Structure 1
Amino acid sequence: MNPQKSNTGLYYIIKTEGTGNTPNENSTITTYYKGYNTDSISFDESKPEGIEFKMDMLIEGFKEGMTYLKEGGEATFIIPSKLAYANSTYSALRYEVLIFDVKLINVN
């Protein structure tokens, strides 16, 4: 599958769109994710049952990518550093392109 590119520079591959609700900036979501860098080194992964986040607490690229999914949807996000941790003074991932495999489990 070829990734699509958004106007912000996020690349994404929708594997399954899903059939439920679509999140917005005020939503709380439950998602499974695995994050890794371009060398395929994993830096974070949720439990298989997912983890709950408020959308406004997510990095910009992850938040944007979630709005392309509905509940049950699965995707891969390729997030440039400017949409991730580039402005963070404390993250070791500041200048990394991040890749996330995600499944949107629930939207509230």
Structure 2
Amino acid sequence: MKEIYYFSKINDYELRKLVNIKQKFSANIFDDWFNKEITIKDNESKFLTELLNKEFNFIRIYKEEDLKVKFIAPILNQIDFRSVEKEIRDFYEEKIIYETDKFIFTGTTDFLISKGLEYS
């Protein structure tokens, strides 16, 4: 029978025994992201400023679900992740599984963007 490992419970030591993880050092790995010109519109700046002002004193004391609902979800809701043409959208609380002939990795995501309009 295959051993089942949960994303939320497996530690680094156990993971490294199962899969060959190598550190890749690259000084420019995120250059495309970090050097891309970003324009923040006035309404976006206003939204973020108001959200930060409202939640500033609470962010550090929120439990995970509070933080997701009160701070992260409003930001994510500003973005339209759905594209019918490209058949992608955002999914929440999706179970994902990775299976080999030796073991199974599984867990539930908080959030992901995936191909598929009905199923991720």
Q: Which structure is higher in strand share?
A: 1
Structure having greater relative contact order (Cα 8 Å, sep ≥ 6):
1
Q: Which structure has the greater CA radius of gyration?
A: 2
Q: TM-score range by the shorter chain?
A: under 0.3
TM (normalized to structure 1)?
Answer: 0.20
TM (normalized to structure 2)?
Answer: 0.19
